[in-house]
Amino acid sequence: MKVPPRVQRALPLLLLIVFVVVAHACGSEGKYKLTSSGSTLRFSGPDAVAVIEKEPFRLSLLDSSGKLLADENASALGWTTAGGRVTLGNVTDVHHSGGSLRLDVQSGDATSTVSVSWRTERTLSVQLTPPDAARDSVTDFVDAYKLVPDEVIYGLSERVSPPPSEPTAPGLPPLSELQPQNAGSLNRRGEVVDMFVQPTMALYTPFYQSSNGYGLYVEGYTPGQFDVGVADKNVLSFHFETGTKDETKKLTYDLFAGPSYGAILDEYTAITGRPFVPPDWAFTNWRWRDELPLGQTDSAEGVEMNAWVADDINNYDKYGIPPGVYMIDRPWSPGDFGFDRFEWDPARLPNAEQMLNKLNELGYHLAVWTSLWAVGGAPGDNGTEAVADNYLAPGSDRVIDLTNPEAWTWWEAKQIDFVTTWDIAALKLDRGEEMIPSETTDIWADGETGREVHNQYVNLQLHLMYEAMLKARGSDFVVISRAGYAGAQQYGIFWGGDSPGSTVLGQGPGTDLGLRNAIISLQRAGFMGFPIWGSDTGGYYQFKDRDVFARWLEFSAFTPLMEIGGKGTHAPWDMPTSPQLDSEMIAIYKRCVQIHQDLVAYTSKYAKIAGKTGLPVARALAIAFPDDPKVRDMWDEFMYGDDLLVAPVWQTGQRSRDVYLPAGRWQDFFDSSKTYQGPTTITVDTPLASIPAFVKAGAQPIATPKAK
């Protein structure tokens, strides 16, 4: 047969492709090796080894040198039915293909399947599939791993020190958030952590990292719980509910083998999604007020506008505070809830177009509050449309059913039109974890129950907003969200909910514990794969102590997201304390904003690294110095990027503090003539206008001299 000339020309390329494919397949086969010795299987890869005991089934993970990283507890893997607990027995058959094993395992009178596969050279995927006859009767899956002495467990949730299974009222956060305690740290040992997203400190992920050199991530969205050494101080156990879909009738989790926390985050975010990297302007300061007053106006730059917006514009100009992002919080639309439709309320925000143009002229980027709530009962209101078209979640009077593609498209179009019309650069996504129909009797549009949708919903809403902004503005946007589950990091950045500057929804006394918890939450978020995080500076509820505001400003200056606002003014020229016009606080405010602005290039550099690897911008000392046992649970200091150590002051009245400097040579960030050789602990004077910060010797310039 004659071969056409074009095929002849293509033959060398075709042969090369075949060679590469075959070589890759052979390489994959040769990369992973299975050996058997008695009742033990060793399933080895280049960087880690899975050891499987067959009588009964038990799994361990070792690094390539043979160090034991993770050791499953005996007879731990299994499930629960109405009839009780079922655990796995002996392995009866082994099927091996390349980087995958399929094991037949006795489970009662039937046979289950456990798949053990190398997703990468350092990530091992484990999947348990019950027998067909038992699958629909399983209520939840269970497993457990041993804890070794002094092992530290990081991650799981943002909120600090929640009591086990703390009850909440609908729409309200747990009491421990409203009235924080002087408890909790980076280490989760001794805690029970529910995987059920609750407002308002609402970052959760079924993913933890161990100081023993491994990480574990349970895939899926169904509710679960981690018991980190409570029922048994030597065991970390977890259980997760089943659902209605095939993938929720199996347990799938991934084990990550070090060699570092950063390497584990790299593997984890490769699976769940690389973090979103915002444009540089998102790293300037964000200014906002909660609930702008109705009917009060003033003039700024010749434009009559809402009095509080004018107050911010005028005082930023008066005191030489650099502009950044200006955020219009709820309510900004007509209606009782202030979000009935996508238009400005002329009674609250008169001359909206001129006001927004003026903010733009002055160098501000515009951010606007939003939510996935369709409310309002008048003609043309979002709520009226949603009810007419059956777009609301089951039994809800406001939550949009995002499992309905038509509802998704409807809301996305509204969001795109609003953003495009008014040149809105950022969205503040709020309240998405509140009032979600979450019972098994709540059947959503795609057939899932409320239990299956609850944790998933916070990611669905963020994904929608991400897509809307991407279509409206290309890459020049950011969405900040207070809620997120595993994978949410690919769609936006995050703030830490309603951090309290005073207790009991602002009605109680002032507290410095909200700031304490924010310092911890920043680092927890980093371990969880959320690398860009900030908090309500001063606390969402009006602070009642000027120390709290000053110290929070100093802390926020060294976090990726610096947003200043909440209930009350949060303004140094209009303080709730005496003097009302506080010249010392004005100087602190201006200086902290300037530091943050002058760190933009530095912050952006590490945000881009985070976008490729998951490594957080602000990271616990344990991440930066994993071989130093002293920093394993040291939460009151952190690294900002590779080169800057920050030691915030959080206690009211504190005017000095001890600072631990790890190995290396350090110089004072604000006075380079002061140098120290670590490891060492020094005592630093901390007057109200100061925050201890130190730079690694030899580092490139971090910020301009103006900031310092």
Tell me the DSSP string of 118-129. ESSSSEEEEEEE
Spans of the chain, pLDDT less than 50: 1-27, 705, 707-708
Handedness of CA 287, 461, 192, 114 (dihedral sign): negative
What phi and psi, each to the nearest 5 degrees, are found at residue 493? Answer: -120, 175
3 state DSSP class of 52: strand
Alpha-carbon distance of 33 to 48, in angstroms, equals 11
Task: Return the structure tokens found at 438.
Answer: 């979450």
Residue that has been written with the tokens 């206008």 in this structure: 689
* Cα–Cα distance measured from residue 89 to residue 105, given in angstroms and rounded to the nearest whole number: 6
For 601, list phi and psi in degrees, rounded to 5: -65, -40
Q: What is the DSSP code (8-state) at residue 489?
A: G
**Dihedral sign for Cα atoms in the order 555, 561, 564, 567:** negative
Q: Which amino acid is at 395?
A: G
145 backbone dihedrals φ, ψ, rounded to 5°: -125, 150
Q: Which two three-digit tokens encode residue 399?
A: 């939550």
CA distance 465 to 481: 10
Instruction: Output the pLDDT for position 21.
Output: 40
**CB atoms near residue 670 (< 10 Å):** 15
- At residue 30, the pLDDT reads 78
Report the C-alpha gap between 554 and 562 in whole angstroms.
10
**Dihedral, CA atoms, 444, 446, 448, 453, nearest 10 degrees?**
-70
* Cα–Cα distance for residue pair 325/328, rounded to 1 Å: 10
Measured in whole angstroms, the distance separating CA 217 from the mean position of its chain's CA atoms is: 14
Enumerate the β-bridge partners of residue 285: 562
Would residue 63 be called left, alpha or beta, if left means φ above 0 and alpha means ψ between -120 and 50 degrees? beta
Contact 219/211 with Cβ under 8 angstroms?
Answer: no
What pLDDT sits at residue 698?
Answer: 87
CA angle 193, 197, 199 (to 5 degrees): 110
Tokens representing 530? 């959320």
Rounded to whole angstroms, the Cα distance separating 566 from 583 reads 21
Q: 642: which residues sit within 8 A by CB, 6+ positions away?
A: 606, 624, 696, 699
Q: Pick from 637, 571, 559, 564: which is nearest to 600 by CA?
A: 559
What's the pLDDT at 7?
43
Q: How far apart are CA 680 and CA 694, in angstroms?
A: 13
Cis peptide before 200 (omega within 30 of 0): yes
Taking residue 357's Cβ as centre, other Cβ atoms within 10 Å add up to 13
Using CA atoms, how far residue 417 sits from 282, 414, 422, 473, in Å, is 22, 5, 9, 11
Look-up of token digits 């457990």 = 144
Report CA-CA distances (Å) from 268 to 208, 253, 553, 613, 694: 10, 11, 32, 9, 30
Tell me the C-alpha distance between 197 and 166, whole Å. Answer: 12
The structure tokens listed for 297 are 């106006």
Nearest to 688, CA basis, from 667, 657, 644, 660: 657
How far is residue 371's CA from residue 399's CA, in Å, rounded to a whole number? 9
Bridge partner residues of 104 (DSSP): 93, 113
CA–CA separation, 398 and 201 (whole Å):
21
Cross-strand partners of 256: 123, 215
Distance, CA of 298 to chain centre: 38
C-alpha dist (Å) from residue 655 to 572, 590, 693: 20, 21, 15
Half-sphere exposure of 325 (CA within 13 A, CB side): 30
Six token digits for residue 120: 């990468």
Q: From residue 139, how far is each of 107, 146, 401, 437, 484 by CA, in Å?
A: 16, 24, 25, 20, 25
- 180-210 exposure pattern, b = at least 16 Cβ within 10 A, e = fewer: beeebbbbbbebbbbbbbbbbbbbbbbbbbb
pLDDT of residue 175: 87
Q: What is the DSSP string of 393-451?
A: PTT-SSBB-TTSHHHHHHHHHHHHHHHHHHT--EEEE--TTSS---STT-B-TTS-BHH
* 3-class secondary structure, 216: strand
Contact (Cβ atoms closer than 8 angstroms) between residue 611 and residue 278: no
Q: Cα–Cα distances in Å, from 172 out to 164, 167, 177, 229, 392?
A: 17, 10, 10, 28, 21
Sign, CA torsion 528/529/531/537:
negative
Whole-angstrom CA distances from 353 to 327, 359, 472 are 15, 10, 19
What is the number of residues in the chain? 708
CA–CA dist 48, 68 (Å, integer) = 10
Beta strand 656-668 with 675-685 is antiparallel
Instruction: Measure the CA–CA gap between 556 and 536, rounded to whole angstroms.
Output: 9
Structure token pair of residue 325: 């992002």
